[in-house]
Structure 1
Amino acid sequence: MKLTLFLTAGLPSLLAAFALLPAALQATDTPPVTEESPRYRDLFNTSAFTLVTENDKYFAGTDRHYTNGLKLSFLGTTRLNESPDFIRRVTQLLPTLRADASRQLYKVGVSLGQNIYTPGDTEISTPDPLDRPYAGWLYGSFDFQAKSLDGKTLRMVEIAFGVVGPAALGREFQNGFHDIINVPHANGWDHQLKNEPGLILSWERRHRLLQLGLNASEDFSADFIGRYGLSLGNIRTNIAGGFGARIGWRLPEDFGADLIRPSGGDEAPARATSIYFFGSTEVRAVARNIFLDGNTWRDSPSVDKRPVVADLNAGLVLRFPARLGSIRGLQLAYIQNYRTKEFYGQLKRDVFGSISLTALF
């Protein structure tokens, strides 16, 4: 069976929990709504919009496996007692977000994204059955974060839902873009994974383990951040852990730029110009990856995945204040990522770049 025993037991429970979510939220005691109650538009008072594009052409020059990712995200900052009722209900329902509300800053966000995966040889019409299948993943997500006021701990929960298969528009996006840049089509999309709805519940926690001022004014500083988390769903099920380090001028009061990952993203206001370098690593123990294992309930192309995968990356972040209408700051980040082999028979490790632009309000 393609679906592991863990998923067979865990996924139905997860789906049942989400089915009961509306009733649970209604049952949670919250203050009555009045004319003075917070509104969702209040989240725009301190917020960030981020566009991330990832591609294996960025300083890598390949065109295989995880070949393109695109994600647009919004995060708005609030205190719990200033939040709309729905946000307060969610934080009470999810144990990982529960804490002394007076000691937390909360963020709520939404994201839209698409990932595209192809085999190494995209010229042939019938893909090699021992190579990675064609697949697209089109999704949206709700994101919830709670950061301690001392800036040392960040708790994150993401609920992502979408579709894998032709409905994810991987063929249309990739070959349409290839037409624009005058590059030959990928010819094996007729053999992509079949349509399947997808759900992922992700939880992550990050800790600032060490922070050092490297000059008298402490404008030049460094920090060291640990991270660990869990993702559960029919698209992806894994546990992950890793570390990251930053060094630079006026490090922002956040946990750094990130790849397109579940629960990724945390942006502080741009109070001053800053520039910093960083490096990080993450190791994942993988129980389920639909883009390698194939469809959950239907026959489809698949490969024999490796149970452990690691990422190693380095990047540069530039952030500066700005006055462009409501925009109060801009951030530009570049990350180069090296990923170990994900399936048996894979000839080379993968390399891809990530470019993100954030508008801070």
Structure 2
Amino acid sequence: MRFPRVIASLLLSAATVVVAEEAAPVLNIRSSTFTVVTENDKYFAGTDRHYTNGLKLTWLGETNLNESYPFVQTAAKVIPWMDPAHVNWRYKVGFALGQNIYTPTDTDTTALIPDDRPYAGWLYGSIILQAQLENQLRLVELSLGVVGPSALGEQFQNRFHDLINVARANGWANQLRDEPGLRLTWERRYRTWQWQGSSLPELGVDLVLRHRITLGNVYTHAAGGAVVRLGWRLPADFGPDLIRPGGGNTPISGGPKRFGAYVYASSEVRAVARDIFLDGNTWRDSHSVDKRPFVADLSLGLVFQWPSFRFAYTQDYRTKEFYGQPRRDVFGSIGFSFSR
């Protein structure tokens, strides 16, 4: 059985368990959000290297914990950070499906490029649990997937290149080998400060802080970051996010009754212990490079939001991720969220 089918089977089994628990109360989903995030280094960057494409589809539904199925209540109790005693916590449960693609700079040659990062694809499914109380968000995301040919990175990239009449990447024979991937992420976010204008109360500024721990054979790192937002009718949420562990899935929450818009600047620093896309396969010999222990992102973005729809564009500037990397990387991120 190929790994993509395994991923689909795992997610389907999890969903079946949720739906099939006859003893559980009816799951009361008060609202739900579907989010699509696409990232590419062609978006206002014009490159085609390193982290070259990402796609993540996420569904999240909001419910009360005591109206959730027993497996959700049990998970909230046993997972660190997810068992708050306050009765007003709002819970969201959901699923995601995503794919990331990585290539070296020179995609014309078929030869292995030893001093540049490996070709790699990462195809995964995630189960997500979030808890929010006013200005605090706690989330956990468990991702299961595959790194290697079964992640379909070569097929997705080259067929898309054929569609837009761009030269194919020719070195995929050197990609990382098939390996099952596990990634478990805990994250907290805080809206620590807000300001509203006195003469223009719809004008606002706020500050969101976050910290995260990710464990697994795909990524192991600790991260911290901050977001500053300035705009018209700022929503009481935590803003859009990039495709990363725990990211790319923040739903519309407490959004404006009318049109709103804002700009934002975001930063994050990660202490990296493991990155399979640089370190190479865990249990097999493969191409690898010498990664840097600290990586930082600076993001600048623009958001337009209506009561049930949000559009976000972000330009991300990432520091060098491995020794010998000649230039930092830039990529764009486009996100659409629909709520009902």
Whether TM-score is above 0.5 comes out as yes
Cα distance in 1 for partners of 2:254, 2:239 equals 12
Cα distance in 1 for partners of 2:61, 2:263 equals 26
Q: Which runs of 5+ in 2 are unaligned?
A: 1-13
Shift of 1:101: 4.5
Work out which of the residue numbers 101, 104, 114 in structure 2 matches 1:129: 114
Report whether the alignment pairs 1:360 with 2:339. yes
Q: Which residue number corresponds to residue 344 of structure 1?
A: 323
Q: Which residue number corresponds to residue 76 of structure 1?
A: 61
Tell me the secondary structure at the aligned position of residue 179 of structure 1.
helix
Give 1:173's aligned amino acid. Answer: F
Q: Which residue number corresponds to residue 130 of structure 2?
A: 145
Give 1:154's aligned amino acid. Answer: L
Shift of 1:268: 1.2
Cα distance in 2 for partners of 1:214, 1:345 equals 48
Instruction: Give me the identity figure in percent.
Output: 55
Distance 1:185 1:32, change over 3 A: closer
Tell me the secondary structure at the aligned position of residue 109 of structure 2.
coil
Give 2:273's aligned amino acid. Answer: A
Shift of 1:84: 2.0
What are the within-5 Å matches in structure 2 for residues 185-264 of structure 1? 185-216=168-199, 218-264=201-247
Cα distance in 1 for partners of 2:71, 2:26 equals 11
Give 1:133's aligned amino acid. Answer: P
Q: Which runs of 5+ in 1 are unaligned?
A: 1-21, 26-30, 322-328
Cα distance in 1 for partners of 2:326, 2:84 equals 47
The alignment of Structure 1 onto Structure 2 pairs a total of residues equal to: 319
Give 2:305's aligned amino acid. Answer: R
Tell me the secondary structure at the aligned position of residue 60 of structure 1.
coil
Tell me the secondary structure at the aligned position of residue 296 of structure 1.
coil
Work out which of the residue numbers 59, 82, 107 in structure 2 matches 1:97: 82
Are the aligned partners of 1:80 and 1:101 in contact in 2 as well (CA < 8 Å)? no
Tell me the secondary structure at the aligned position of residue 150 of structure 2.
helix
Work out which of the residue numbers 257, 267, 275 in structure 1 matches 2:261: 275
Are the aligned partners of 1:79 and 1:101 in contact in 2 as well (CA < 8 Å)? no
Give 1:90's aligned amino acid. Answer: A
Are the aligned partners of 2:118 and 2:288 in contact in 1 as well (CA < 8 Å)? yes
Are the aligned partners of 1:215 and 1:221 in contact in 2 as well (CA < 8 Å)? no
Distance 1:85 1:101, change over 3 A: farther
Shift of 1:127: 3.0
Cα distance in 2 for partners of 1:288, 1:80 equals 34
Q: Which residue number corresponds to residue 183 of structure 1?
A: 166
Are the aligned partners of 2:237 and 2:254 in contact in 1 as well (CA < 8 Å)? no
What are the within-5 Å matches in structure 2 for residues 30-49 of structure 1? 33=23, 37-39=25-27, 42-43=28-29, 45-49=30-34
Shift of 1:231: 0.2
Cα distance in 1 for partners of 2:190, 2:174 equals 43
Shift of 1:217: 5.3
Are the aligned partners of 1:141 and 1:159 in contact in 2 as well (CA < 8 Å)? yes
Shift of 1:128: 1.3
TM-score by length of 1: 0.86
Distance 1:173 1:32, change over 3 A: closer
TM-score by length of 2: 0.91
Shift of 1:262: 1.5
Give 2:90's aligned amino acid. Answer: L
Report whether the alignment pairs 1:332 with 2:311. yes
Give 1:33's aligned amino acid. Answer: A
Q: Which residue number corresponds to residue 145 of structure 2?
A: 162
Shift of 1:32: 9.0
Larger displacement relative to structure 2 (71-80 or 61-70): 71-80
**Which deviations, in whole Å up to 9, do the C-alpha atoms of 1:262-315 show, x marking residues without a partner?**
122322154321101111100000000000000000000000000000000010
Are the aligned partners of 1:119 and 1:127 in contact in 2 as well (CA < 8 Å)? no
Cα distance in 1 for partners of 2:85, 2:117 equals 46
Cα distance in 2 for partners of 1:57, 1:215 equals 42
RMSD, matched Cα = 1.6
